[in-house]
Amino acid sequence: MSPMDVVVMTPWGWDVNPDLEDMVAEALDKAGVPYCMWGGAVLRIYGSATTNIHFSGWVVPDRVLQQAVESLNDEGLDTCPFGSSCQSLSGHSVPLIVPDWHCHPDDDIAIESAPTPTLNVYKSSRLLWSLPDPPVGAPSVGDPDYMLASDPRIPEFKDPMSPWASRGRHDPDRYPIKIPTASKYAGSLIKLQCRDLAAPELGSWTSQVGCMCDIVNDVDENHVLRLEEIQEPFRHYMSYLSTELSMYDAPAISMGLLLAIRDELRASNELPPAEPSQFQKLLALTIRRLKNGVGKSLPYRPAESNGEPDGGSNGA
């Protein structure tokens, strides 16, 4: 695909073109890599009017991450050389969880501004640890965990904007793309909230849960998610958030519910520990580099200990 094809301008800035996502899905299927899409694009497919996507998210089992990367490299999607320190992974209105791999579909745009559209791949153990691996190929009818983006339960988006700015149900003539079922996606987001209650990423999960609540409340137009399809203890939490609440009471009550769910998940050993923050990762990387001798090129470094105070003898 040419650079003009892989990213598109929307009312909110640059986004990854859905046509590129079709290519990615086909490449992963041909390589035998189980995958599902994840993130803001999936919310749009469900029928949410969320904005500020700016990345295309994909989740694969940990064991096939390298296989997935190689299949995408073969399609001309080159690995970003800056990795987790890439400036396009920061500066978002809501903190973005750093992917395990990413690329810039359009290098020119990546140079001109930041944040810019990225195609991100994540290990499933970080985001969807409680779900089974997605199938290779189309999910079976009635699969409780995965569905196609062209599933008839998904509403057709009636917004008059261009397809990449609206989404909704995919046209069945497009390449089939796998996504989590809406009920399992909602439950996974709440688990992420519980894991990251004290982390910057909490804002991202909370924002997405709010979008899912909007879908639940759209009972006349959207049938992709119903409260009764969500498992407990997540259903009670979603039910609470989907009602009209006082702005003074809602934060304390919703936090209390999340704490209760977190304690329940911990008790059943279903909640992994929170991930280190990006600052902690960069600090650890800096320390490792200093220990490996990188610091020797710095204009100043602490004097090596020789049993005496800095500066040796006092010359008296």
pLDDT, tens digit (0-9, with 9 covering 90-100), for 46-65: 988 765 567 889 999 999 99
Of the candidates 194, 205, 214, 215, the one whose C-alpha atom is nearest the C-alpha of residue 271 is 194
| 250 vs 190, more confident | 190
Lowest-confidence region among 109-123, 232-246, 272-286, 293-307? 293-307
Q: How large is the average pLDDT for residues 297-313?
A: 40
Lowest-confidence region among 57-66, 149-158, 163-172? 163-172
In this prediction, residue 32 carries a pLDDT of: 97
**Domain annotation covers residue 288:** no
**C-alpha–C-alpha distance, residues 197 and 216, integer Å:** 23
**Domain annotation covers residue 299:** no
**Domain annotation covers residue 273:** no
In this prediction, residue 48 carries a pLDDT of: 85
How many percent of the chain have pLDDT more than 70?
72
3-state secondary structure of 269: coil
The two tokens of residue 19 are 């046509």
In this prediction, residue 189 carries a pLDDT of: 97
In this prediction, residue 297 carries a pLDDT of: 44
212 CB-near residues (< 8 Å, 6+ apart): 43, 46, 48, 182, 185, 186, 189, 225, 238
3-state secondary structure of 267: helix
**C-alpha–C-alpha distance, residues 238 and 306, integer Å:** 62
Q: How large is the average pLDDT for residues 109-118?
A: 57
For the cut 50, the answer to whether the pLDDT of residue 110 exceeds it is no
**Domain annotation covers residue 163:** yes
For the cut 50, the answer to whether the pLDDT of residue 96 exceeds it is yes
**Domain annotation covers residue 295:** no
| 258 vs 245, more confident | 258
109 CB-near residues (< 8 Å, 6+ apart): 3, 7, 14, 116, 117
DSSP category for residue 296: G
Q: How large is the average pLDDT for residues 176-187?
A: 97
pTM of the shown model: 0.81
The two tokens of residue 248 are 């003074």
Range of the domain at 36: 3-267
**Domain annotation covers residue 96:** yes
Q: State the average pLDDT for the chain.
A: 80
Amino acid at 176: P
**C-alpha–C-alpha distance, residues 206 and 83, integer Å:** 26
DSSP category for residue 230: S
Q: How large is the average pLDDT for residues 265-292?
A: 76
Q: How large is the average pLDDT for residues 250-262?
A: 87
For the cut 50, the answer to whether the pLDDT of residue 312 exceeds it is no
Lowest-confidence region among 18-32, 66-80, 172-186, 249-263? 249-263
**C-alpha–C-alpha distance, residues 159 and 303, integer Å:** 65
**Domain annotation covers residue 276:** no
In this prediction, residue 298 carries a pLDDT of: 40
Q: How large is the average pLDDT for residues 280-297?
A: 61
For the cut 70, the answer to whether the pLDDT of residue 300 exceeds it is no
**The total number of structural domains that make up the chain:** 1
Write the CA distances from 32 to 151, 236, 276, integer angstroms: 22, 38, 31
**Domain annotation covers residue 128:** yes
Amino acid at 97: I
Q: For the segment 260-278, what is each residue's pLDDT rounded down to a tens digit?
A: 999 999 999 999 998 876 5
